Amino acid sequence: MKICVIGYGGSGKSRLAISLSRHFFVPVLHLDNLHYLTPNKVISDEKLVGKIDSFIDKNEEKGWIIDGNYFLMKDTRRFKEADIIIFLDFPRWYCFKKAKKRKKDKEVIDVNTNPCLSRFDLFYMYWVLFGGRSKKMRKLYEKTLALSDKTKLIFKTEEELESWAEKEKIVLL
C-alpha cells in the first residue's frame, strides 16, 4: 500500500500517517521531519526531493506512507505512484485548535524530532488560519489530487475520517 496524506496545517496528517503505518505495517515518512532543520531553517528543495525519491525507492516493494504537502513540481512521483491520496480538508478553526494542542502533546509525535511541530508562534498561527488556505494553496491541492488516477479520499470533518477508519478497521490515534 502506498499512501500520500495531505491537508491543511494542524489537520492531523502526521497522526493519520502513523495510524496508517501501523495498520498496513509499512514505513512512514513525515516531510516536515526532512524539511525543517530548525523552526526557521530548511533544506533545499532539491535535497528534499532526493530524500523523498530515496525513501520511495527503498520501500518500493513493501509500500509506504508519506505525509506532508510540499507541492514541488519536481516531486510528483509520490502522488503518481500512490495507491491512495488522502486530503484532510478540515475547517480552519478545527486545525487551529489541533495545532495548539499538538504543541503540548508528546504521546504519539515526538516534537523534539520535528522543530515544526513545537512551533506555535504568530507566523504559524497565521499560516494555519489564513496563509495555508489561500486560493493559490487550494489550487495546489486540486492540482496534486489530479496527478493520480487512483483513489482519492477527501475528508471535510473528523467524523468523516473516523467513519471511514472504522469501516476499514483502522485504529486512529
**Which tens digit of pLDDT belongs to each residue from 87-127?**
999 999 999 998 888 766 554 455 445 555 556 678 888 88
| C-alpha to C-alpha distance for 116 and 80, rounded to whole angstroms | 27
Domain map (residue ranges) of the chain: 2-168
* pLDDT for res 107: 47
| Residues in Cβ contact with 74 at an 8 Å cutoff, skipping those fewer than 6 apart | 45, 46, 49
Helices 92-104 and 122-129, interaxial angle, to 10°? 150
More confident residue, 105 or 39: 39
* pLDDT for res 116: 57
Q: Which CATH number describes the domain made up of 2-168?
A: 3.40.50.300
Mean pLDDT of the chain: 87
Lowest-pLDDT range, 14-23, 73-82, 113-122?
113-122
Q: Which three cell numbers mark 90?
A: 478540515
DSSP tag of 129: H
